[in-house]
Amino acid sequence: MSKLTRTTTTVLVTLAAAAVIAPTAASAKPPAGTASLRGSAHLIFPPTPDDEVNFTVDAHSRYAGSGPFPSESWGTARVSHVFTGEHPGEIWYALAVDCLMTGPDTATVTGVVTTASPDGQSLIGTRLGFSVADTGRHDTVGFTGVQGTAELPKCMAPAAFFQVRDGDYRVTDANHWGTGMSASPIAEQG
């Protein structure tokens, strides 16, 4: 067998192995005890429905223990708001995720603003909270807004109330309390 034939065979075997492994890795479930929230969408902002409001997130968490709070969270989020009314302009800010909590098809994420547009500089260092209901075609998002002087606790956000105009979010629940757990053990008692 010539050197060229051996090299060609090695390349073909490597490519074939990669083709077999790739679908398995892509469809593999995340490690037990991990959660994620990923996606981007334009939201409908009722006070000024022509404004462009976008929320993009790539957040992850790991659970180690039996409590509801993750032992570790990381990731990024970005919000931008393009104003189209009397005072056109844009404000945006990026956040470092400090908490992601999940349930089936729901997520709450908080993060601290790390960078912002010139009009958003006063938000740097502020914690903001978001919630997402991953309902398939009609996701919804909640947002704390700026809380003034009060410090927002980690892992806290309002119910998801903004409708998504276009885009999508995907929640991967950690299921850290195991399958078969009732969402409300109290309801079973009554």
DSSP states along the chain: --HHHHHHHHHHHHHHHHHHHHHHHHHPPPPTTEEEEEEEEEEP-TTSTTSEEEEEEEEEEE--SSSSS-SEEEEEEEEEEEE-SSS-EEEEEEEEEEEEEEETTEEEEEEEEEEE-GGGGGGTT-EEEEEEE--SSS-EEEE----TTSPPPTT------EEEEEEEEEEE---TT-TT--S-HHHHH-
pLDDT of residue 20: 32
pLDDT grade, residue 8 (50/70/90)? very low
Q: What is the mean pLDDT of the chain?
A: 79
pTM of the model: 0.75
CA distance 130 to 157: 5
Across 2-11, 72-81, 150-159, least confident range = 2-11
pLDDT grade, residue 29 (50/70/90)? low
pLDDT grade, residue 85 (50/70/90)? confident
pLDDT grade, residue 183 (50/70/90)? very low
Half-sphere exposure of 8 (CA within 13 A, CB side): 5
pLDDT of residue 26: 40
Average pLDDT over residues 118-133: 93
pLDDT of residue 10: 31
Backbone angles phi, psi at 43, to 5 degrees: -100, 155
User: What are the structure tokens assigned to 116, written together?
Assistant: 């912002």
CA distance 35 to 134: 14
Give the largest CA-CA distance in the chain.
Answer: 78
* End-to-end Cα spacing for the chain: 77
